[in-house]
Amino acid sequence: MSKNQDLFERAQRVIPGGVNSPVRAFRAVGGTPRFIKRGEGAYIIDAEGRRYIDYIGSWGPMILGHGHPAVLEAVTAAAREGFSFGAPTEREIELAEEILKLVPSMEQVRLVSSGTEATMSAIRLARGATGRPKFIKFEGCYHGHTDALLVKAGSGLATFGHPTSAGVTPGAAQDTLVLEYNNVAQLEEAFAQHGAELACVIVEPIAGNMNFVRASLPFMQALRELCSRHGALLIFDEVMTGFRVGLASAQGHYAGLIPGFKPDISVFGKVIGGGMPLAAFGASHEIMKHLAPLGGVYQAGTLSGNPVATACGLATLREIQKPGFFEALSAKTQRLVDGLVGVARDNGVPFSADCQGGMFGFFLMPELPQNYQTVMSTDKERFNRFFHAMLDAGVYLAPALYEAGFVSAAHSEADIAATLAAARTSLK
């Protein structure tokens, strides 16, 4: 028995499914999960000493790669000062100032420990600020495992969601309206029917949990216009895209396409923690004043603004602001995506791919999908074979066809070339 198999058997005896987050179990692709011992730059090394080119990057945070010297120095110094105090620190202010400097749509920000906390709190804030109960989410967008968000669409055009997890009651989901991503007509009908009751719309501007599907320009314009017209708040879930698709995040990308565009509430995570548990949500003073201790919307957390996590996040944000960082990262990611498309074409395999900044996705279909239902039509078994062939070749992709991939500043041209060589063999 291999070391990974042995660890997985041990884990299953003491941890449900052997993992602490479901996708890690390899249930979607089959086989044995790799238990990671350490990371070095663009690579991760498993319990058997096998090295992989890492395109997961802890699902997005490791934009600098593993073990960046400036981040290690900042974290080590912070750890020496203390792990947690349950009291304010100056570094919390510094990180908040850094985030706000880069995100002009926000005037204040609240730090929390996870993306789930941040999205849950953002929706509660929207409800408290508007005095309305209902909200819209989109099928295929993941915003954490809060009860009201673990729902799917019903059979009608604009029906309310039904729980997709045991333990979630119909009552918890009764105010959640689930629509199809990139469907403008459905969005307009939902606002026509429920506009006066809608507190907010929450959306991934580039959905990373149905692989990589970007919001179309007409869809984004309709979202902003309908929310403004009906008094609902537009929440951008940038847990994944924030400071990953560009220094101005996804909202900066859309602001460049739609004059004056900005969301009302923004949610960040992953990159702003640099690999440590840290997330945030923010908005204007007018909206944020509803949060306790100023207002009646309660939110709290013992480890919020953790001093070691803020040190890690602050060091990461300062590194990615260096001249040329995102230009180089974007070009590298584009070369990877273009190369994969070319290799697939040479092998006669239906294939499409897209990317933005250091985030990418690919589909074993000739055209890029625009919604969850199309994503679900992907040839799952073919993807699984490709995944394992790439893994055997030393390339670690997401172990599910519904997850985006991530390139880091540590990936070299040699890493990209090795990945394309592995893909050329694997796609055969």
pLDDT at 51: 98
Q: What is the pTM of this model?
A: 0.96
Q: Divide the 428 residues of the chain into consecutive groups of 10 and give the mean pLDDT of each group.
A: 94 97 92 97 98 98 98 98 97 98 98 97 98 96 90 48 76 90 97 97 96 97 98 98 98 97 98 98 98 97 97 98 98 98 96 98 96 91 96 96 95 98 96
pLDDT at 168: 83
Domain coordinates in residue numbering, the chain: 69-320
The secondary structure of 108-129 as a DSSP string is: EEEEES-HHHHHHHHHHHHHHH
d(CA 155, CA 160): 9
The amino acid sitting at 103 is V
pLDDT at 156: 36
The separation between the first and the last C-alpha atoms of the chain, rounded to the nearest angstrom, is 29
Other C-beta atoms closer than 10 Å to the C-beta of 117 total 23
Domain 69-320: assigned CATH number: 3.40.640.10
Nearby residues of 215 by Cβ (< 8 Å), 6 or more positions away: 181, 182, 203, 204, 205, 206, 207, 223, 254
Task: List residues with catalytic annotation.
Answer: 142, 237, 270
Sign of the Cα torsion 247, 402, 2, 15 reads positive
User: In whole angstroms, how far apart are CA 323 and each of 17, 251, 318, 320?
Assistant: 44, 21, 11, 8
